[in-house]
Amino acid sequence: MPSKYDTNPLDPEFPEKARAAAARQGGSAEDDGPETQVLGQRPTGPQGPETNRLFEPSPTEEQQTRRFGEPDFAACSAPPQFNSPYNGQFVPAEYRAAAPVDMSRSGSRKVEKIGLPENILTAVPYLPITLGMIAGLLLLLFVPKTEPKVRFHAAQGLAAHLAILIITSILGIFSDWTGLAGAASTIFTIVTTVMLIVFAIKAWRGKPVHIESVDDLTNWLEEKIGPLKSS
């Protein structure tokens, strides 16, 4: 005999058999609550169809659509820095390109305790012959260490003159034995004189001058020859 708990969905006569079995047992399938309801039937009774409702019905009313006026549209489309009043947004700082270095202004700066423009003092150590050598030595003796640029060029110019003097002396010794050494000495003197003039012009214009071959001697001279202490 079929039972009311027999829920075989493949039996097309299952609902009728279940009702008949329930009637014989003295009850109806509808009285057993929603757990024993026949498949495909909605419960009836005082509770009504709300017993199977799991969610509240969604509101059917739509909120009123906000329409933007011309002032609102202009405020949203304008760049942040032009929005007024300030409403808390991040406003980036305006980018400004760095101005180029004014060479005439740097040349007019006077060096402490010397009273001459900086560009002149950086150029005189590279003057040819013995002028640059004497100028470089005097600058190392009188320019304070608070002027590292002037002291560097003074040491480098002095080191270049010492290196030229040593090489010229060696070539002069060999020139007594052969004429080839004499010609080499003359060519070397001309080339180094032109190079020193070029270095002096570059230093006067504020451009960097670096003689790599005399780096060690330059650092040694700048360190060992300090400014004279005033009494």
Q: In terms of DSSP H, where are the helices of 39-147?
A: 70-77, 103-107, 118-123, 131-142
Do 25 and 131 belong to one domain? no
Confidence of residue 161 (pLDDT cuts 50, 70, 90): very high
Whether 77 is in a domain gets the answer no
Domain around 24: 1-29
% of the chain residues with pLDDT over 90 = 36
User: Is 118 within 8 Å of 150 (Cβ atoms)?
Assistant: yes
Confidence of residue 171 (pLDDT cuts 50, 70, 90): confident
Task: Report residue 177 as tokens.
Answer: 């034995």
Do 22 and 115 belong to one domain? no
Whether 204 is in a domain gets the answer yes
Q: Can you tell me the mean pLDDT for 120-141? A: 93
Whether 62 is in a domain gets the answer no
User: Is 110 in a helix, a strand, or coil?
Assistant: strand
Over 50: is that where the pLDDT of 33 sits? no
- To 5 degrees, how large is the angle CA 167–CA 161–CA 109? 165
User: Is 220 within 8 Å of 158 (Cβ atoms)?
Assistant: no
* Segment among 18-22, 28-32, 142-146, 163-167 with least mean pLDDT: 28-32
Whether 38 is in a domain gets the answer no
Q: What are phi and psi of 116, to 5 degrees?
A: -110, 155
Average pLDDT, the chain: 75
Q: What are phi and psi of 126, to 5 degrees?
A: -100, 5
pLDDT digits (tens, 9 = 90+) for 76-113: 665 555 445 555 555 555 656 544 444 445 556 888 77
Whether 67 is in a domain gets the answer no
Whether 147 is in a domain gets the answer yes
DSSP symbol at 198: H
Q: Is the pTM of this model over 0.75?
A: no
Higher pLDDT, 218 or 59: 218
pLDDT digits (tens, 9 = 90+) for 56-84: 656 555 556 666 666 665 666 655 554 45
Instruction: State the amino acid at position 198 in one-letter form.
Output: V
Q: Taking the CA atoms of the chain, what radius of gyration do you get in angstroms?
A: 51
Do 121 and 215 belong to one domain? yes
Confidence of residue 19 (pLDDT cuts 50, 70, 90): confident
Over 60: is that where the pLDDT of 44 sits? no
Confidence of residue 32 (pLDDT cuts 50, 70, 90): very low
Q: Can you tell me the mean pLDDT for 162-188? A: 86
Q: Can you tell me the mean pLDDT for 173-184? A: 79
Over 90: is that where the pLDDT of 4 sits? no
User: Is 153 within 8 Å of 218 (Cβ atoms)?
Assistant: no
Tokens 């560097």 -> residue: 152
Whether 50 is in a domain gets the answer no
Q: Report the number of distinct structural domains present in the chain.
A: 2
Whether 39 is in a domain gets the answer no
Do 218 and 115 belong to one domain? yes
CA 92 to chain centre: 16
Task: Report residue 105 as tokens.
Answer: 């202004």
Which pLDDT belongs to residue 214? 94
User: Is 122 within 8 Å of 144 (Cβ atoms)?
Assistant: no
Residues contacting 126, CB < 8 A, separation 6+:
132, 153, 157, 160, 196, 197, 199, 200, 203, 209
User: Is 152 within 8 Å of 218 (Cβ atoms)?
Assistant: yes
